[in-house]
Amino acid sequence: MIVKKTTNRKDIKAVLCNAAIYDTITDDNSPLVEDFEPPITDDYLYIGGYVNDNIIGLLIYHKYLDGQSCHVQVLPEYRKEHAKKFGEQSLEFRGTLPLYAEIPDLYKNVLNYALSNDFKVIAVKENDFVKNGKTYNVNVLEFQNGIRS
């Protein structure tokens, strides 16, 4: 697997607009998948994971609080074999600022993945995410840089 920066809109959309992914990264106020355009600006850094020249995963960094937030997405058919390694390798692009993630309670598997990769819940935004008309709390996590408390 090759992990590298990308601004290739087609590759970015191949991951984010995948039916299994788009539904989990959007809320009730998000555009339809066919209307979605990823922001390609200096405020966003996209890290792609590639196998045989095909994108299989994407990590997105963007400004958040006193650091940056990250969002990891791996195509379902590649998760078992590549998700852990892709997550670890893509974190090498994070820089030195604090790193955060926001994960709604709805996605327990995503929360468990983040916790297994040295993230810790530092706050909860109550009733901050609406999906299919139902409201969920959002966990705010911070990367611990391998420090366990």
Residue identified by tokens 């408390």 is 149
Residue 60: strand, helix, or coil? strand
Taking all residues of the chain, what is their mean pLDDT, rounded to a whole number? 93
Q: Which of 60-64, 86-90, 144-148 has the highest mean pLDDT?
A: 60-64
Q: Structural domains in the chain?
A: 2-143 (3.40.630.30)
Residue 3: strand, helix, or coil? strand
Task: Provide the CB-side half-sphere exposure for 140 (13 A, CA).
Answer: 13
φ/ψ of residue 44, rounded to 5 = -125, 135
User: 131-136 — which CB contacts under 8 Å span 24+ positions?
Assistant: 131/27, 131/28, 131/104, 131/106, 132/28, 133/28, 136/104, 136/105, 136/106
Give the Cα-Cα-Cα angle 19, 25, 30 (nearest 5 degrees): 90
Q: Give the pLDDT band (50/70/90) at residue 113.
A: confident
Within 10 angstroms of residue 133's Cβ, the number of other Cβ atoms is 6
pLDDT at 148: 47
Q: What is the pLDDT of residues 75-94, one digit of tens each?
A: 999 999 998 899 889 888 88
